[in-house]
Amino acid sequence: MLNRYKGCLIGAILGDALGMPHETTTAHFSTEPTFGKAHKGHPNHNLLPGQYTDDGQLILIASRILAEGAWNNTDYAKELLKTYTLQKFRYPDGTIFAACKKMEKTENLTGSGIYSDSAGCIGLAIPFALAYRDRKEMAKDLLAACTVTHTHPGVHAGVIGCALLLNTLLETSDVEAGFAALRTAAENMDPMLAGKIANAIRIEQTGMPTPDAVSILGNSSSIYHTLPLAVFFCRRYYIPRELLGISSTCGGNADTASLLCGAFCGARFGISALPGELIPTLERAGIFADLAEKLMNREAKTPDEESGE
């Protein structure tokens, strides 16, 4: 179990770092995942190979809060605002940036979410999937976390659906049950997203070449592109190295799509199945490994232990 918990969290960060230099570019598919540096003038050009993006920053913030105990929306918003005011965000998602700017202006930390369909907060699905056994409680707290920056129902459906997929996979090892949980959440919360996910699965089943599928499904930062595209990749590619290579070089929102694929294959196969030569040079890999263990053990604590008594 610890192998798969670490695989899920580190797989997500690994996918993010692999996709980092390819964000906003055109697709140039490779089945061999390698860290790279963004070209001069690219929004991520200051990052080194193996460093993660703003998606990884959100995951780190949320993981640390959850590892300490109960979820706290105000603490999360404060950390986002602090990162924003210190100008430490790494090419932030536009919605995250706008929400932080609104927080700063209005001093309303938890009521400054933006109605946008960007997938900028989908990384929250990973630490929440690791931290909760009770899925209803997870969905409630995760919805609250999403609304700090995103108020769009499609985003809420996507993030909660992804968390349910990963949580189901971690607990049961049943891939199809995980995808069923994702589809059910989308159907209940945003039928449009559900339709696009179903279309991604249908396209994969036809055997359509990957470049053609990407052009149809789209690779923008919209939740309606990023999530169905990740579903397509996860259902087509079974070998973790190949899945990470293809997803990280798909262009557009490659870092986020690859993040989701990394979390999926890590939860499915464990950290031992990820490209071992890359993890030693992945930024803060040891810290994320420790956080994964803390998140796995989080609900094993007694109420007295959590309150410090």
Provide the pLDDT for residue 300: 59
User: Residue 24: which region, alpha, beta or left (left: phi > 0; alpha: psi -120 to 50)?
Assistant: left
- Residue whose tokens read 């232990």: 305
Nearest one of 259, 271, 261 to 210, comparing CA atoms: 261
Provide the pLDDT for residue 307: 42
Residue 152, pLDDT above cutoff 50: yes
Residue 293 lies in a domain: yes
Amino acid letter, 265: C
Residue 206 lies in a domain: yes
Provide the pLDDT for residue 143: 98
Residue 215 lies in a domain: yes
Domain containing residue 116: CATH number: 1.10.4080.10
**CB–CB of 91/26 below 8 Å?**
no
- Residue whose tokens read 């971690």: 170
Provide the pLDDT for residue 21: 97
User: For residue range 110-144, what is the model confidence (pLDDT) as tens digits?
Assistant: 999 999 999 999 999 999 999 999 999 999 999 99
153's enclosing H/E stretch is helix 153-172
Residue 302, pLDDT above cutoff 80: no
Residue 305, pLDDT above cutoff 60: no
Provide the pLDDT for residue 276: 95
What's the pTM? 0.95
- Name the domain count of the chain: 1
Provide the pLDDT for residue 57: 98
Provide the pLDDT for residue 64: 98
User: For residue range 159-195, what is the model confidence (pLDDT) as tens digits?
Assistant: 999 999 999 999 999 999 999 999 999 999 999 999 9
User: For residue range 76-90, what is the model confidence (pLDDT) as tens digits?
Assistant: 999 999 999 999 999
Residue 38 lies in a domain: no
Residue 138 lies in a domain: yes
User: For residue range 49-60, what is the model confidence (pLDDT) as tens digits?
Assistant: 999 999 999 999
Alpha carbon 37 to its chain centroid, in Å, reads 21
Helix 175-189 / helix 191-206 crossing angle, nearest 10 deg: 140
Provide the pLDDT for residue 37: 96
Residue 71 lies in a domain: yes
User: For residue range 234-267, what is the model confidence (pLDDT) as tens digits?
Assistant: 999 999 999 999 999 999 999 999 999 999 999 9
**CB–CB of 203/135 below 8 Å?**
no
Measured CA to CA in angstroms, residue 196 lies from 15, 105, 201, 226, 232 at distances of 23, 36, 9, 10, 11
Name 150's bridge partners: 114
Domain that holds residue 130: 2-20+51-300
Q: Average pLDDT of the chain?
A: 95
Residue 46 lies in a domain: no
Residue 305 lies in a domain: no
